[in-house]
């Protein structure tokens, strides 16, 4: 069993790339913030042993426990690395079923990990992305006025930090996801719900006493 960690930094291009964060923030005269989210990907791996091309129950239990410990959820990309020449169909299918039971899908893109997979084993990888905005908050210039008509050094920190914290899949900040099979019914569902819902003011108003008669 291997549990590998590999970090890949993918930086969203800022409008003033190449400048120091402090200097760029102090001289930013545009409406684009120099404080941009940085997306990092960590890769975790777990090797499971196969038996006759299948995944025995004991290994399924180990893998299931690892999934629980890792807390896999939406945004995690799970892949299976099979070094065998002809592939281990039943074992791979069993892992796919375990992943699908958790509401996820197995990715066909297998990341590069350190070390080779031993014969008779499969390697399951989890690629987990996170996003942060470094250098925020930035109150390096406390004076709100600027003779250069520049924005505040903290400009953009709040909105971009909140975006980085809330996005379900941080990789979407680098390249937005595409829906290869658009579903018209899903696209029109909000409109249908809006039209079918009864108005909140429909019906007669309830008669409610506002006084117990004590003022008479």
Q: What is the pLDDT of residues 58-114, one digit of tens each?
A: 999 999 999 999 999 988 999 999 887 666 689 999 999 999 999 999 998 899 898
Task: Quote the percentage of the chain above a pLDDT of 90.
Answer: 41
Which of the residue ranges 44-53, 81-90, 169-178 has the most confident prediction, judged by mean pLDDT?
44-53
Assign 193 a pLDDT band (cuts: 50, 70, 90).
confident
- The residue range of the domain holding 115 is 7-173
Q: Establish if 200 belongs to a structural domain.
A: no
Higher-confidence residue of 52 and 28: namely 52
Judge whether 202 lies within some domain: no
Model's pTM, two decimal places? 0.63
Assigned domain for 185 exists: no
Give me the half-sphere count of Cα atoms (radius 13 Å) on the Cβ side of residue 67.
24
Query: Does residue 210 belong to any structural domain of this protein?
Result: no
The verdict on residue 60 lying in a domain is yes
* DSSP character at residue 147: T
- Residue at 191 is within a domain: no
The answer to whether 35 and 160 are in contact (CB under 8 A) is yes
* Cα–Cα dist 18/207, whole Å: 68
* CB neighbour list of residue 117: distance below 8 Å, 6 or more residues apart: 47, 81, 82, 83, 123
Count up the domains in the chain and report the number: 1
């Amino acid at each position: 069993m291997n549990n590998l960690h590999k970090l890949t930094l993918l930086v969203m291009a800022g409008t003033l790339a190449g400048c120091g964060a402090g200097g760029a923030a102090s001289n930013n005269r545009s409406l684009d913030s120099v404080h941009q989210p940085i997306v990092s990907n960590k890769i975790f791996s777990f090797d499971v042993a196969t038996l006759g091309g299948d995944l025995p129950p004991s290994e399924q239990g180990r893998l299931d426990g690892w999934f629980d410990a890792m807390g896999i959820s939406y945004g995690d990309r799970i892949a299976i690395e099979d070094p065998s020449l002809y592939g281990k169909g039943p074992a791979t299918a069993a892992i796919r079923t375990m992943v699908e039971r958790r509401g996820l899908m197995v990715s066909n893109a297998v990341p590069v990990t350190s070390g080779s997979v031993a014969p008779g084993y499969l390697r399951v990888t989890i690629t987990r992305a996170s996003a942060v905005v470094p250098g925020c908050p930035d109150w390096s210039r406390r004076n709100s006025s600027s003779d250069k008509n520049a924005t505040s050094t903290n400009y953009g920190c709040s909105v971009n930090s909140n975006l980085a914290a809330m996005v379900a899949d941080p990789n979407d900040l680098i390249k937005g996801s595409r829906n290869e099979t658009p579903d018209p019914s899903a696209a029109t569902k909000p409109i249908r719900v809006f039209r079918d819902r009864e108005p909140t003011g429909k019906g007669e108003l309830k008669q409610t006493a506002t006084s117990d008669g004590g003022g008479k």
